A and B are shown apart, each in its own frame.
Chain A
Amino acid sequence: MMILEVERLSVSFGGVRAVDDVNISVEAGQVFSIIGPNGSGKTTLFNLLSGVYTPDHGVIRFAGETVTDLEPDRLARRGLSRTFQNLQIFSRMSVLENVMVGHHRHEDTGILADLVHWPSVRRQNAATRELALAALARVGLADEARLASTSLSYGALKRLEIARALASDPKLLLLDEPAAGCNPIETQEIDRVIRSLIKDGITVMLVEHDMRLVMNISDRVHVLARGRTLAEGTPEEVRSNAAVVEAYLGDHGSKEATRAFG
């Protein structure tokens, strides 16, 4: 079953075609990665998929239904969640509270009940807290639950965003460069987390520059360059695609290519 289908998706910003006529189909339960040089439109694609930007053209279908112009919160309530390349942490809240917000779409107390702290609110708070702690444990942050979110390291914040997204119990999870700025051990940890998600039946879309991680974990890899599709296939197919190697070598020097393929 295809959980996500994207047809001819395009958006431009003042003449820059950030995403240009892109087609994607993501099979449920797989890891689907998007790679490409910086500025090739990966984050913009995620913004379109999660409803943060509205496309100029094209159709997005999620779990069989057309969701092209849906607001982000409506999409989230249908089971799509994401993390951000540039962290969007709730910085005035504790680590635990950040994750508790993730569970919001399942919380069902009215504002009047919230005001008087009805017993249902107490039960809901306790349930949400349990769930959030479990999500934190999954990403290895259980011990940090009580800390202020601002006291975490960059790598830990990346995992905090994953835990927060997990607390919303998504069907499809978009991870935008989860391993950027992480040390090898933290990257290993993220690899482990993604595998555990797949085991739970969550579909993962991954934007990532760490090619070891991408090539290890992905079922399919989609390559973007200047907003357009350059190639798509299994990791092996993409790795041996001449156009892909060229794009990395041609546009961005040997460093990124070495990191990608060497």
Chain B
Amino acid sequence: MAELLQFISSGLTVGAIYALVALGFTLIYKASDIINFAQGEFVMLGGMTTVFVAMAGVPLPLAALIAVVATTATGLALHRFAIEPARGASPVVLIMITIGASIFLRGVAQIVFDRRFHSLPPLLGADPIQLGGAAILPQSLVVLASATAIVTLLWLFVDRTLLGKAVIATAANRLAARLIGVDTRRVVALSFGISAAIGAVAGILITPIALTSYDAGTLLALKGFAAAMLGGIGSAAGAVVGGVLIGLMEAFAAGYVSSNYKDAVAFLIILVVLISIPQGLFGRAKVERV
């Protein structure tokens, strides 16, 4: 029982991070049909920038803020200088561009920062909370609460603001959105900005638990992508559920099978799900129209 609780708490924590990464994928995909493989680098940049700005003597909250702003700027620049000029290119080409961007950002991080592992002090201290025999890190609660807050904020933004409605319209039908006066280019830029910001926050939240380094983004991007697909790409609810599910599966696999195979179990289950439900958990089945 205590063991189970322990696995659930660590699974939910990592899952919340995966959910945030998946949400970043989904947001950009919704607005532009692009799968942005540099999403993981946003997470890395969030963590690493905070670490280094804090090391320079800036108070931690301010350092975190600077990191989020810098990462958001990076996301906007990625859109402006790499995605925008390639408008109309095929999906594979666009994927390759974002992969190029991910290699580039990793390289920059290597030069600007360093190649070592770094951590941040947890927000509420490091002493575990005992709960039903399980030791739960306070930072886990911070992660869960922040992730919930971000998801809620995003939902409010999309549901309650005019700009949010423009995003929805663009996602539903780009041409129609343009015809009713939505600046779809701005919407796509916005999606890159928000995704980068969400990624940065995820990176700051997870660094006290999982360490970060210049190349920490790759695996996170893969897991986030898988989570988004598991939920059914383009579905925000699916992204959150997919992320949490993968986090939990990994935690259970690590606990009950072998920690070496935790990544394998996650991907194995994704394969099985995709093969049995080709459109993902929350995606809609489509009859191809001819």
Contacts and interface: CB of A to CB of B under 8 A. Distances in A.
| Contact, chains A and B (beta carbon distance below 8 A) | yes
A56 to B, nearest CB: 12
Interface of A: 13, 43, 47, 52-53, 84-86, 88
Contacts of A85: 290
Interface range on chain B (Cβ under 8 Å from partner): under 10
10 contacts: A13-B287, A43-B290, A47-B290, A52-B288, A52-B290, A53-B287, A84-B290, A85-B290, A86-B290, A88-B290
Q: Interface majority SS on B: helix, strand, loop or mixed? A: loop
A170 to B, nearest CB: 18
Contacts of A53: 287
Q: Interface majority SS on A: helix, strand, loop or mixed? A: loop
Contacts of A13: 287
Nearest to B288: A52
Interface in B241-289: 287-288
Contacts of B290: 43, 47, 52, 84-86, 88
Nearest to A176: B290
B261 to A, nearest CB: 36
Given A43-B290, A52-B288, 6 more contacts: A13-B287, A52-B290, A53-B287, A85-B290, A86-B290, A88-B290
A155 B287 CA distance: 28
A47 B288 CA distance: 11
Contacts of A86: 290
A52 B289 CA distance: 9
B26 to A, nearest CB: 24
Nearest to A54: B287
A211 B246 CA distance: 59
A189 to B, nearest CB: 24
A47 B290 CA distance: 8
B193 to A, nearest CB: 36
Contacts of B288: 52
